[in-house]
Chain A
């Protein structure tokens, strides 16, 4: 038995001892060791690590529900957590929507563990930063290299008791020339997969190819979005589109069974895939499993935690977050499936990879977009999003990248951008760009889209 599972079990036992056997209780124990080496102006300027164990407790007693957490995990700290949570239960209104505890169920996967990643030293992260900086050959660079591991457990009074561990590594950096940045970004379960020299070289190539950009008028353009930009689409689908609570509230665009996407689009959430990030169970103890949200363009489902599932009359899909009742269930490992048959092309320019270059070669006139920035939802129901391009935009004419272009502001409905007939090409290589929040792993290939609504230029 892991130390975390023992701790979770002791907390549940303590609740039952102090509140009686009628109390329903669940305890989630999370030990996270996060280390992040950050560089700017081509030098390491912030270098941090922490190792924290936290216990989150939820009690349902006499029809009332209260949650609480602590990082003080000695006996006194745990006793205080349990006592104050029990005391609070008596003072709160009844919770008629309580969905009950997760039943005992086995895990589908144990989690992605890599010892070398979990135990990586500051020197190993610094070595990758050194390689990134050197590969940029004198350009100013900035970014980070991160390693993290989680070891956690869940226990409840309904008999569910599971534990797991996982690791993740990420590197994200830019190289800079006056007026243009180039980016390279990659996440993986293994630090060994991250080659600082390859990423630094790619960022530098993109930066140099972005120098002296021209300004184009706003309007609708055909685009090829690189995986770093596609990850932003997936993040917003995860937060707002495939969120079962928002669907219950009629605030999601999702319409189960409807052909809302192009037939080329299939989107799954799958922590068991090689790109999956995080623990093998959710914050309510429900085992995570692969779920298909969009199959060949048809919306097939959304994510549910236990509360949203009960309201919808379905089962939890294993997407509950600790203390996440108010925001609702969010899938953390969305993956837009690549086209296995997609052709590749040699990468001679700023395109992210050969598959992206192949999509570019089919575009008569449009824009190649590396990255999106500061995207915000204007209306959750239509998922109209505003944001900006960042880290490289190029004009494509007759299948060739001809000129770097200054950044645009856009205002675009994300589901409409991937709607029926709107996806003109899907790349053959799905990539997981490093996400700034280590709990997410959004994976997708480059996409060629018929239209993207750019509503402003960089100068207004």
Chain B
């Protein structure tokens, strides 16, 4: 791949050469391993509010980030300059920073083997979102908010986001990989304001490694009136009752449930204590990998960055490991983690492949790729029909979980009573709370209707990074769940 599609202005830059220069400079300065990523990203975002465009921004960033390993200490340096001189200076600086790390050494750091590879990969894209006329996109966004206002929303909002990223990776072990990842997504939200509270109902909020066809496929116009009406109805709906009940979650909320209570818990850097002071650790103990029961036998969670079009998909991770699928939880037993080459080495594992960075200026670290449920044997209709007394909740509104990823409390936008196998009255402010493994072990029905959800705002790391993660998810039923927690 060349950078031609990203603008002839950057053709003068030989990106692999810049990355290679940075790596060589780090080696010359004493590193025993180094890698560098040159990245060029264009992004576009638009939001509309109550019939007007509120914000439109077209952004571009480009630079090189170098990672150097001196002894057992890592150093990283990044600059927004891909000239040979700047890249070399960055490599030297990264090695110098790594040397400073040695003054407070941790456990010996190694890297699991990774064969040298050259490769190229591009994500799916039928309609280049940056080539869709702005006027067409603006008309869509404004029209959506107009429809929601006409159907009772006090505050009607719509948005889309587009990222077009090219990256060139070189390592001192002979890797030379380029990738082009185009991501986009969008959604709508209607808010109705009451005397004591506000109620929000949204739709879409869906992202993937796909082109504009993802946004058009959401049928946002076909859902604008519905969300507005539902947000208004929620103001006078019955409050979610408090107590223990059978809980059915829609697939959108299941994606968030997987992200928070499985995805983060299986991050190997958390398990090893590398995130202890901030993001936290994990309740999982490596000694129990392969034997510990995480959930019911219906629970099959895959780590799979190869899913076409899902938001966490790639050809290679950000340290050059080819994408590969593996189980994290198989028939309810914990069997896999999200790992990088260094964390896998410390843990004694033989696989990596889940190291990513949110840009050239940030250190690659263990991140989710696509972490999601395999299909179950039921349908949502069957799940509801089989439930005598319970609550159905969907669409996340708030999320909070402890630093070991055990104790969670999630709020949804909307709920419905389930009585005698049928959907009953609407419920407002539905919340549920639980402890991860107890909750997952109570899953007794799982739908086959899987949606590949994308979450574009996963925060982790210091300095903070925003990750894009994918979560195949389907509606599911859980028993004995505490609901209706209020302030």
Q: Tell me if B57 and A67 are in contact (CB < 8 A).
A: yes
A299 within 8 A of B: no
CA distance A377 to B197 in the complex (A): 12
**Does A172 sit at the interface, judged by CB under 8 A?**
yes
Q: Is B103 a contact of A381 with CB atoms below 8 Å?
A: no
Q: Please, which residues of chain A bring their CB within 8 A of the CB of B365?
A: 46
Interface size class of B (residues with CB under 8 A): 35 or more
Complex Cα distance, B97 from A123, in Å, reads 8
> In the complex the two chains form, what is the Cα distance from A133 to B277 in whole Å?
13
Q: Is the CB of A126 within 8 A of B101?
A: yes
Judging by beta carbons under 8 Å apart, are A97 and B63 in contact?
Answer: no
Taking CB atoms and an 8 Å cut-off, the chain A residues in 89-148 that contact chain B are 91-93, 95-97, 121-123, 125-127, 129-130, 133, 140, 142-144, 146
- Whether a CB of chain A sits under 8 angstroms from the CB of B274 is yes
Interface positions, chain B 119-138, Cβ under 8 Å from A, are 133-135, 138
Closest B residue, CB atoms, query A380:
B198
Pick the residue among B56, B109, B482, B487 that contacts A66 (CB under 8 A): B56
Q: Which A residue's beta carbon lies closest to that of B79?
A: A51
Q: With a CB–CB cut-off of 8 A, which chain A residues contact B55?
A: 67, 323, 325-326
Report chain B residues within 8 Å CB of A122: 75, 96-97, 99-101
A380 proximity list for chain B (CB < 8 A):
198
Majority secondary structure of chain A interface residues (helix, strand, loop or mixed): strand
| Interface pair A386/B398, CB less than 8 Å apart | yes
Assuming A81-B60, A323-B55, is B101 touching A47 (CB within 8 A)? yes
List residues of chain A with CB within 8 A of the CB of B196.
Answer: 381-382
| Inter-subunit contact B407/A456 (CB<8 Å) | yes
Q: Is the CB of B400 within 8 A of A47?
A: no
Q: Are A77 and B9 in contact (CB under 8 A)?
A: yes
- 167-188 of chain A: CB within 8 A of chain B: 172-174, 176, 181
- B374: shortest Cβ distance to chain A, in Å? 27
Q: Return A27 CB to nearest CB of chain B, in Å.
A: 14
The answer to whether A436 and B278 touch (CB under 8 A), given A50-B79, A67-B56, A453-B487, is yes
Asked if residues A436 and B464 are in contact (CB atoms below 8 Å), the reply is: yes
From B65, B273, B401, contact of A41 by CB (8 A): B273
* Residues of B184-205 whose CB lies within 8 A of A: 191, 193, 196-198
User: Bound complex: CA of A113 vs CA of B170, how far in Å?
Assistant: 38
Q: A53-B80, A92-B134 are in contact. Are A379 and B197 (CB under 8 A)?
A: yes
Look across to chain A and name the residue whose beta carbon is closest to the beta carbon of B73.
Answer: A44
* B198/A379 in contact, CB under 8 A: yes
Given contacts A93-B138, A325-B54, A456-B433, contact A381 B197 (CB under 8 A): yes
A361 to B352, CA, bound (A): 52
Among A41, A45, A409: residue with most chain B CB under 10 A: A45
CB-contacts of B371-406 with A (<8 A): 397-403
- For B198, the closest partner residue in chain A by CB is A381
- Please tell me if A80 contacts chain B, counting CB pairs below 8 Å: yes
Whether the pair B103, A378 counts as a contact (CB closer than 8 A) is no
Q: Is the CB of B407 within 8 A of A388?
A: yes
Interface string of B78-111 (1 = CB under 8 A from A): 1110000000000001001111110111110100
Residues in chain A near residue B212, CB distance under 8 A: none
Assess whether B400 is in contact with A374, with CB atoms less than 8 Å apart: yes
Chain B residues positioned under 8 Å from A53 (CB to CB): 80
A129 to B102, CA, bound (A): 12
Q: Assuming A45-B106, A49-B93, A50-B65, is B191 touching A70 (CB within 8 A)?
A: no
Is B478 among interface residues, defined by CB-CB distance under 8 A? no
B residues less than 8 Å from A181 (CB atoms): 276
B275 within 8 A of A: yes
**In the complex, chain A residues whose CB is within 8 Å of the CB of B449:** none
Q: Mark B137-157, 1 if CB is under 8 A from A, else 0.
A: 011001000000000001100
B442 at the interface (CB under 8 A from A): no
Any A CB within 8 A of the CB of B411: yes
In the complex, are the beta carbons of B104 and A460 less than 8 A apart? no
Residues of the A chain whose Cβ atoms lie less than 8 Å from the Cβ of B14: none
B61 contacts the other chain (CB 8 A): yes
Q: Does B324 have its Cβ within 8 Å of any Cβ on chain A?
A: no
The answer to whether B107 and A43 touch across the interface, beta carbons within 8 angstroms, is yes
A309 to B487, CA, bound (A): 32
Interchain Cβ contacts under 8 Å between A and B, 7 examples: A41-B106, A45-B101, A49-B76, A69-B61, A92-B135, A181-B276, A381-B193
